[in-house]
Structure 1
Amino acid sequence: MIKLGIIGTNWITQQFVEAVKLSGRYELVSVYSRHAETAKTFAEKNGAQETFTDLDQFLSQGAFDTVYIASPNSLHFAQAKKAIQAGKNVIVEKPAFSTQKQMAAIQQLLDENDQVLYFEAARNIHTENFHTIEKKLGELKTVQGAEFTYSKYSSRYDKVLAGEVPNVFSPKFAGGALQDLGVYTVYDAVALFGMPEDAVYFPQRITSGVDGKGTAILTYPEYNVTLNFSKITNSHMTSEIYGLKDLIEIDDAGEINAVIYIDDDQNKQMIGNTINENPMLPEAKDFARVIEDPHHSQNQKDYAYWRQLSVYVNQLIYQLRQSAHISFTGEEN
C-alpha cells in the first residue's frame, strides 16, 4: 500500500484522494496546509493520521512515501524540489513547473536521486478513451491536422469581475488559461503528434494581466494543430483529428468522455465512451503500478515516456507564453 501525503486541500486534492481510495492502492496518511484548522478538517474527512503546517517537518517527519502536490502553480517547483531531496515520490498537478529552467533543475535532481519517481498529473492521457484515440490515429491513412478545444467558465472569474485576483487568475501564482485548461490540449497535441516545428499563442488578456482565453497554433511539417481553451467562456465545440475524408471526433479535449470515428462516407461509429467513476482514477492506477513495481520493463518504459512527455509539454507551454509575452511575477527564464 502506497503511503500518501498531500500538499493542498482544495477540490482537486479531494478528487484525487477519492480516486486513490477507489484504486485500492494508496492510503492517505499525512496532510499539509498552512492553516492548522484546514489541515485538520481535511484529514478528519479523509481518514489521514497526521497533519502539518510546516513543510520541512511534513517532508522529514511525515509517514508517507509519495506526495501529491496541488498547491498554486508558482509553488510547485520549490515544493517538488524539497520533496525529491527528502526521498519522496512526487505527483505534481499540471502544469508541473512554469519555466524550462525549473524543469531542467528537477530532471537533474531526479537523475541524482534515481530512487525517487516523478509524475505530472495530466489525467487525460491516462484514460482508456485517449488510448483509443492513439490507436485509431495510427490507423488513419492520411493525417491533416487537428483542433482541440477545452473551454469551461470558471466560477472564480466572477471574483475577477468583482475586482479580486484569485490564484488561478493571478500572475503571482502563475495562473491563466494556458497554465490551467490549456495544458490538457497541449498534452493531447504532443502525445499524439509529437513536438511541433513552431508554435504561436494568441491570448485574450483579462484585468489581472494573465490570459483568460486564447488560441495556439502548432506548426508541423505537413499540417497545423490548433488549440482553443478558455476559463472565461463555455464552449460545446467538439475536438477533431482530420484524416482525408474521415476524422476522429472527440467530445471534449480535456475530459474525453466520447470518441467517434467518422468514415469516408460520413458514417459515425462510437469507438470510445468509457466514463470513469472518478476522472482521476486512471492516472492514480497508472502511477501506483509504477511506484509498486518500478523495475518491471513495461513500467520502466511507461515511466520514461511520461517523464519525457512532461518535459516536452513544459517546453512547449513556455514557448507559447514567450510568443505571447506572458510572464509571471518574479519569474526567471
Structure 2
Amino acid sequence: MEDLRIATIGTSMITGQFLEAVGLVDGITFAGAYSRSLEKAEEWSRAHGADRAWDSLDALAADDSVDAVYIASPNLLHAEQALKMIGGGKHVLVEKPLGTTRAEARRVFEAAREKGVVAMEAMRLVHDPAWRVVAENLHFLGTLRRASFPYGKYSSRYDKVLAGEQTNIFDPAFATGALMDIGIYPLNALVLMLGEPDDLMCFADTVDVTGDGGTIDLCGTVLFDYPDAVATVSYSKVTDDRLPAQIEGEKGTMIVDSVPQPRRIEVFYGDGSSQVLPVPGRKNRTDHEVGNMEFEVADFLAACRGELSLERLNENTLAVIGIMDTVRLREGIVFPHDEG
C-alpha cells in the first residue's frame, strides 16, 4: 500500500513535533510545507526531508501529489483552511480546536462527509492508549461519584502581555486564550471518560488585552453535573498545574498523573490496597511531547485508509467545542468572528 502523502500548514514548534511523530509511523510521508512566505516554506520542507513547498493555499488544495494536510495555523483559520483543503479532495488533520464554535466544526465534518474524505481533530490524548486503559478499568471503581481533570501550563508569551505587548496567543482576534488552548485538553478527557454533562457552572479570570474590550481568559474552572456524579475541569495559561487527574468511585479512586500525556495510572481501593496499571504502546518514553502524538497520526492514517471509524471521536469533538461555546458565552469571552 502506498504511503499517505501529507503536507503541513504552519511552521511552529507543534508542526515540528507532528513531523517527528510522522517519522514514528509507517505508511505516512511528509510531502511538503505551506507558508505565506515561499522561502520559509522551502526552508521548512528541506529541513524535514521534503522537496515541495507552497505559498498558495489554492495551489496546495489542487496539488495531486498531496493526499492529506495537517493544519496548525492560528485557531481562527482552522475551519476555513480545512474547508478549502477538503474542497480540493484532501483529508485533513486539524490542530485543536478544529473549529472555534460547534457550528463551525460541524460544517467541517459535514463537508468532509460529502466529499468522501477524512476530517479529524488533532487532540492527541483521545488517541492515547493510556486513556483507553483508564476507560477499561473504571468499573473497578464501582459507582462513579466525582472526578477532576486539571491542566495548567505557563505560557512564556504571557510575559509580553505583562509588559503591555500584544501576542497572538493572548489575542481574541485569533480565537485564543486559556480555554481554547489549554482547557480543551481536560474537557476532552472529561467527555471521553464521562460523556456529555447535564449542566455546568463556570468561572474564568479574564483580562482586556487590547484596551478596547478584547477580553481573553487566563485561567478558569468549570463544574459539571451528571445524573449520579459531579466533575471539575480546571485550566490555566498563566500558572503550572502539578495536580493529577482523579476519578473517584465508591470502591476506589484512580489517579492519572497527566491529562495530556499519561505515564502512570494508579488505582487505590477502599480496602487499602493499590495497583499500578501498565501503559502500553509507548515507543518514545522521554518527556518530549511528541511521545503520544504518534497515536493520533496512526489513527488518522487508519481512518484515511478506511480501517477506522471516527464517528464517536468526532461527536466528542463537537461536544467539547459545544461546552466551550457555553463557557465563553457565560464568561463574556467573545471573538470578532463569532456568529450571532
**For residues 76 and 316 of structure 2, what CA distance do their matches in structure 1 show?**
20
**In the alignment, which of 286, 289, 300 is matched to residue 287 of structure 1?**
300
Q: How far did 1:207 drift?
A: 4.1
Q: How far did 1:312 drift?
A: 1.4
1:79 counterpart SS class: helix
**For residues 129 and 88 of structure 2, what CA distance do their matches in structure 1 show?**
34
Counterpart amino acid of residue 29 in structure 1: A
Residue number in structure 2 paired with 1:78? 80
Q: How far did 1:130 drift?
A: 0.6
Q: How far did 1:96 drift?
A: 0.7
**In the alignment, which of 314, 317, 326 is matched to residue 310 of structure 1?**
317
TM-score by length of 1: 0.94
1:1-333 equivalences under 5 Å are 1-61=3-63, 63-113=65-115, 115-208=116-209, 209-274=215-280, 275-277=282-284, 278-292=291-305, 294=306, 296=307, 299-300=308-309, 303-333=310-340
Counterpart amino acid of residue 231 in structure 2: V
Q: Which segment drifts farther, 124-133 or 30-39?
A: 30-39
| Residues 260 and 272, structure 1, Cα contact 8 Å, conserved in 2 | no
Q: How far did 1:199 drift?
A: 1.9
Q: How far did 1:217 drift?
A: 1.0
Runs ≥4 in structure 1, deviation > 6 angstroms? none
**For residues 164 and 39 of structure 1, what CA distance do their matches in structure 2 show?**
28
| Residues 30 and 63, structure 1, Cα contact 8 Å, conserved in 2 | no
Counterpart amino acid of residue 170 in structure 2: F
Paired residues in the alignment total: 326
| Residues 240 and 250, structure 1, Cα contact 8 Å, conserved in 2 | yes
Superposed CA offset, 1:82-113 (max 9, x none): 11111100100011101122123223312321
TM-score by length of 2: 0.92
1:28 counterpart SS class: strand
Identity of aligned residues (%): 33
**For residues 30 and 72 of structure 1, what CA distance do their matches in structure 2 show?**
19
**For residues 90 and 247 of structure 2, what CA distance do their matches in structure 1 show?**
39
Q: How far did 1:52 drift?
A: 0.9
| Residues 200 and 324, structure 1, Cα contact 8 Å, conserved in 2 | no
| Residues 117 and 304, structure 2, Cα contact 8 Å, conserved in 1 | no
**For residues 119 and 138 of structure 1, what CA distance do their matches in structure 2 show?**
29
| Residues 123 and 282, structure 1, Cα contact 8 Å, conserved in 2 | yes
C-alpha RMSD of matched pairs (Å)? 1.5
| Residues 145 and 225, structure 1, Cα contact 8 Å, conserved in 2 | yes
| Residues 3 and 65, structure 1, Cα contact 8 Å, conserved in 2 | yes
Counterpart amino acid of residue 174 in structure 2: F
2:79 counterpart SS class: helix
Superposed CA offset, 1:109-133 (max 9, x none): 12321x2011101101111211110
**For residues 70 and 11 of structure 1, what CA distance do their matches in structure 2 show?**
10
**For residues 223 and 245 of structure 1, what CA distance do their matches in structure 2 show?**
14
